[in-house]
Amino acid sequence: MKKKTRRKNKHRIAPFFAKLLLLLLIIGGALIFGRTFTDQTVSKTALETRLNKMIQYNFIDEIAPLAQKAQSEDKVLASITLAQACLESDFGQSTLASKYHNLFGVKASGNVPTVKLNTKEYENGQWITIQGEFRVYDNFQASVSGHTKLFLNGTTWNPNQYKSVLAAKDYKTAARAVQTSGYATDPTYAEKLIQMIETYQLDKYDSY
């Protein structure tokens, strides 16, 4: 009876070790797959980040000479022109910029080329979506020129609207002047411009 019992135990032990080995193989495979998947995910994220940075800096390099020209001729700080172009156009990727060459969200009406697009405005303490009529330009150079003329000539109802922007000698003062002059409804607009300038060191394009 004892011998039979021993044989039964041996038969029970063999399947146990087989199952244990199978379980270890499954766990090992899962760990390897998980590590590979994680590595691929990290690599994809890193690649996308690098691509976005490349797009952003290429856009800055393209617009910088136009912004510096605007400063040398009309006293609009290059860093402000660049920061607004980056912020308003999402580094040239927005529909308004990529299709209609409007880098600054400049609105227009009357006897000039325009396009109607949805835009967000901050009113009564909240963001709302409205349809705005925006100026269409032939190229980015024309857009920068139009932006400069807006600061120089003001609006039809206030020719001196952006006088404080032109008088500013540093980017922080100019950014706050852009907001207080009513360029945008966003209550944090000046902070966003300053952050953009400091993140991408856009003030290096200013010539004093």
Q: What is the average per-residue pLDDT within 175-200?
A: 96
For residue 45, being part of any structural domain is answered with: no
Distances (CA, A) of 157 to 8, 63, 199: 100, 30, 35
**Around Cβ 205, how many Cβ atoms within 10 Å?**
20
As given in the structure block, the two tokens for residue 182 are: 């009513």
Residue type, 46: A
For residue 112, being part of any structural domain is answered with: no
For residue 157, being part of any structural domain is answered with: yes
pLDDT the model gives residue 136: 96
Q: What is the mean pLDDT of the chain?
A: 85
For residue 198, being part of any structural domain is answered with: yes
pLDDT the model gives residue 120: 78
The number of folded domains in the chain is 1
What digits encode the pLDDT tens for the residues 12-58?
A: 445 555 655 665 666 666 555 555 445 556 688 888 888 899 999 99
Residue type, 153: N
Distances (CA, A) of 137 to 62, 76, 127: 16, 20, 27
Do 202 and 60 form a contact (C-beta atoms < 8 A)? yes
For residue 129, being part of any structural domain is answered with: no
Cα gap 26→28, rounded to integer Å? 5
pLDDT the model gives residue 67: 97
Please, which pLDDT band fits residue 83 given cuts at 50, 70 and 90? Answer: very high
| CATH code (residue 201) | 1.10.530.10
